[in-house]
Chains A and B, each alone.
Chain A
Amino acid sequence: MSVLPYLVAAWVFLVGCYGLATSRNLIHAVGCLAVCQSATYVLLLAVGYRNGGTAPVFSDLKPGSRPVVDPVVQALALTDVVVGATVTAVLLALVLQISKRHGTVDPDELSELRG
């Protein structure tokens, strides 16, 4: 097992957070959030990966004949993708409304809610 995929996952998550913290555009910020989420895909798939394993589809594969990767994390990653699509859609819809109501998508110019 290589440690590299885990480092990649951590790196991608932190890069997404950095992008969120410094973003000057809300659409870019929602994109950064999606980058953070990609880190979770990388992590989940890294957890389930086996060297020399194949896809866990048993229609043309005799069970036990060769190693397969963990199907549970793949199911988790798929669910995660669906969740992520919903979240991104809702957030982008909100950004669209912000752009209509405020006339800007720069978070630095949105200062109505403070204190």
Chain B
Amino acid sequence: MHHLLPVLVAVPLLGATLLVAGGHRLPRVAAETVGCAFAAGTAGLAIVLLLNSSPPLTEWVGGWTPEGGESVGIVLVGDGPGLGMAALASLLTVAALAYSWRYFDEAPRRHAGSFPALMLLFQGGMCGFAVAGDLFDAFVFFELMSVVAYALTGHRVEEAKAVQGALSFGVLNSLGAYSVLMGIGLLYARTGELAMVKIGQGLDRHGGPDALTLAAFALVLTGLLVKAAAVPFHFWLPDAHAVAPTPVCMLLSGVMVELGAYGVWRIYRTVFSGPAGIPASDLERALVVLGVLTAAVGAVMCWYQRHIKRLLAYSTVAHMGLFLIGIGIGSHSPEADDGVALYILGHAGVKAALFACTGVLLDRYGSVDEHALHGRARRLRGVAVLYVVGALSLAGLPPFGIGLGKAVLEESVGGPLTVLFVAVSAVTAGAVLRVAARVFFGLGAQPGDESSYETTGITEEPETRHRLSRVPDTMTAVPAVLLVASLAVGAVPGFAAAVGRAVSGEAAPSPHWTLAGLLLGLTSTLLALGLATFAVTRTKPLGEPSWMAPLRRLQSGHIGDYVAWMLVGTTLLAALALPGVLNG
């Protein structure tokens, strides 16, 4: 079975090659069918491998097996979390391709295969990153996934904003990737190994942690946290999400950003968790501080957005903060890891569904601005229902998957962090509910202009040639299926237990609903409903507090500012991990 691991990367790459080579001769229907078939085939393979992933599969590509403990070959590792992420990425790619079937009205002339080919390359990069067992291949797949993501973000090259957002996405993420490579170079200098497990053992042979370990840790985590959009590395994310085509947003928010958090988890666990690495308490301090910052900034910025795609993007930032807190706590509590895994699964479905519904608005009305769309989408009843259900499950309504993951996490973090979890999910879901109430039901007064310093989204070009007169079935079926899947994550008996076994083995009790968890989920849902009601029932529109202005100005759209903040973040990361190295 382990011989099939490289096929997981090879199939989408082969599909992309075929589409690039023959796409200009194919009619659009044929090109998209080929794309869907290859993506679905990979998804099926990932699921089959996932079901056989215990004990973990290991494959030395090309038969370069280690001799006498020394290895120079490429190693792929297929364990529960890695193959789980690969399966999630593949399933979401299939969903995004199915959604885009009728989404782009007209493919560029003679380039019918280019969009599905890029999506397949993206899928191959994500699968490869998820199963990479050595650091250099993780870097190569990280870059493959990133470069394709820049190209997909700037897919509509005729649009001024799209190329601008893609460029800041590209510069920030590439700089992050080079910082990862610097860290990998340092680790190779110390240990002479590239396979993650061997680097961990090599570090431990050397004795306690020192400046080199700390530098490598800060550099490697910088790149991964740029991908994971942790504050202050997050600035590219709202810009990229605001301009990327909607099917691409579904993948960016649903799984690519989470792969950054997965990379932090995987690399810390296999490389830095030994006695010579960074102590768990230091990782926890670093990730909890950054996570709290990320969650707070993301939630506040999410609440004050009127551009719906940016609003959803900031909601992703806020939830990434929660994931990072969970990973930090998870270094000494396996339950937290199970909670994060369930949360990521549930979040992927819900966020992708919300983006899909926003795409319907964009194609139908040529706008993604909450104020301009006020009351205009009354006739889209089906989409309205999907939007409200998506918002409620984002708040953690039982028995959705997000609710279960959040409940498990809240019980393992405890204390003030539980309050933060409830507050962040209430605020982000409240903002989405507010959008639904205003756009689909026309509730509340027409809001006035609140701030001049923001992106409005009034003049977005619809991604179809003409505005849609009726919504194609695929564009409502895909979000509906995604929401049902994210409901199933929390509601199907035994699923959560299987996820728990795949992530942390038998070490932790299997995640399940408890009374406290149900109550916390209901609390955040009620709070979200309350916040949305408060926002739409006020006769005078909610003004923007003066303390928001500096926060807003940070998001200046200027690449230089973002790079400066990234350096600040790297320094902060090293400072937060410093005590363990000094004491070690």
Note whether A and B form a binding pair. yes
Q: Residues of A with Cβ closer than 8 Å to B?
A: 9, 13, 17, 20-23, 26, 29-30, 33, 36-37, 39-40, 43-44, 47, 72-73, 76, 79-80, 83, 86-87, 90-91, 94-95, 97-98, 101-102, 107-108, 110-115
Taken together as a complex, chains A and B put the C-alpha atoms of A90 and B151 apart, in Å, by 7
A interface secondary structure, majority: helix
* A–B Cβ pairs within 8 angstroms, 19 of them: A33-B178, A43-B182, A44-B181, A44-B185, A72-B194, A76-B188, A79-B140, A80-B181, A86-B147, A94-B166, A101-B163, A102-B160, A102-B164, A107-B558, A113-B161, A113-B238, A113-B239, A115-B451, A115-B454
Residue of B nearest to A72 (CB): B72
Would you call B33 an interface residue if the criterion is a C-beta within 8 Å of the partner chain's C-beta atoms?
no
Taken together as a complex, chains A and B put the C-alpha atoms of A110 and B166 apart, in Å, by 13
Which of B174, B305, B556 touches A111 (beta carbons < 8 Å)?
B556
**Interfacial chain B residues near A29, Cβ < 8 Å:** 171, 559-560
**Interfacial chain B residues near A95, Cβ < 8 Å:** 167
Q: Is the CB of B185 within 8 A of A22?
A: no
**Interfacial chain A residues near B556, Cβ < 8 Å:** 111, 114
Taken together as a complex, chains A and B put the C-alpha atoms of A87 and B243 apart, in Å, by 20
Q: Is the CB of B189 within 8 A of A47?
A: yes
**Interfacial chain B residues near A107, Cβ < 8 Å:** 558-560
Q: Is the CB of A40 within 8 A of B182?
A: yes
Q: Is the CB of B170 within 8 A of A94?
A: yes
Which of B158, B453, B559, B564 touches A115 (beta carbons < 8 Å)?
B453
Which of A37, A72, A87, A94 gathers most chain B CB within 10 Å?
A94
Which of A37, A83, A108, A111 gathers most chain B CB within 10 Å?
A83
**CB-CB nearest 7 A-B residue pairs:** A115-B454, A101-B160, A97-B163, A47-B189, A114-B557, A113-B557, A20-B563
Taken together as a complex, chains A and B put the C-alpha atoms of A9 and B185 apart, in Å, by 11
Given contacts A87-B174, A101-B159, A114-B556, 10 further A-B contacts (CB under 8 A): A17-B567, A20-B560, A23-B560, A33-B178, A39-B178, A40-B185, A73-B185, A76-B185, A90-B170, A113-B168
In the complex, the number of residue pairs spanning A and B with C-beta atoms less than 8 Å apart equals: 136
**Interfacial chain A residues near B54, Cβ < 8 Å:** none
**Interfacial chain A residues near B188, Cβ < 8 Å:** 47, 72-73, 76
Would you call B363 an interface residue if the criterion is a C-beta within 8 Å of the partner chain's C-beta atoms?
no
- How many residues from B make CB contacts under 8 Å with A? 52
Q: Residues of B with Cβ closer than 8 Å to A?
A: 72, 136, 140, 143, 146-147, 150-151, 154, 157-161, 163-168, 170-171, 174-175, 178, 181-182, 185-186, 188-189, 194, 238-239, 242-243, 305, 451, 453-455, 552, 555-561, 563-564, 567
Least Cβ–Cβ distance between A103 and chain B, in angstroms: 9
**Interfacial chain B residues near A115, Cβ < 8 Å:** 305, 451, 453-455, 552, 555
Q: Is the CB of B451 within 8 A of A13?
A: no
Least Cβ–Cβ distance between B263 and chain A, in angstroms: 17
Known contacts A83-B140, A87-B174, A112-B455, A17 near B563 by CB under 8 Å: yes
Least Cβ–Cβ distance between B108 and chain A, in angstroms: 14
**Interfacial chain A residues near B174, Cβ < 8 Å:** 33, 37, 87, 91
Least Cβ–Cβ distance between B305 and chain A, in angstroms: 8
Taken together as a complex, chains A and B put the C-alpha atoms of A22 and B556 apart, in Å, by 14
Taken together as a complex, chains A and B put the C-alpha atoms of A113 and B159 apart, in Å, by 13
Taken together as a complex, chains A and B put the C-alpha atoms of A112 and B159 apart, in Å, by 12
Q: Is the CB of B160 within 8 A of A79?
A: no
**Interfacial chain A residues near B161, Cβ < 8 Å:** 112-113
Which of A36, A90, A112 touches B175 (beta carbons < 8 Å)?
A36
Residue of B nearest to A108 (CB): B558
Residue of A nearest to B310 (CB): A115
Residue of B nearest to A86 (CB): B147
Taken together as a complex, chains A and B put the C-alpha atoms of A22 and B562 apart, in Å, by 11
Which of B150, B194, B558, B561 touches A91 (beta carbons < 8 Å)?
B150
**Interfacial chain B residues near A37, Cβ < 8 Å:** 174, 178
Taken together as a complex, chains A and B put the C-alpha atoms of A94 and B166 apart, in Å, by 7
Q: Is the CB of A94 within 8 A of B154?
A: yes
Which of A40, A43, A87 touches B147 (beta carbons < 8 Å)?
A87
Q: Is the CB of A110 within 8 A of B557?
A: yes
Taken together as a complex, chains A and B put the C-alpha atoms of A46 and B139 apart, in Å, by 19
Q: Is the CB of B454 within 8 A of A98?
A: no
Least Cβ–Cβ distance between A100 and chain B, in angstroms: 9
Q: Is the CB of B164 within 8 A of A110?
A: yes
**Interfacial chain B residues near A102, Cβ < 8 Å:** 160, 164
Which of B150, B185, B238, B556 gathers most chain A CB within 10 Å?
B185
Which of B164, B194, B242, B560 touches A98 (beta carbons < 8 Å)?
B164
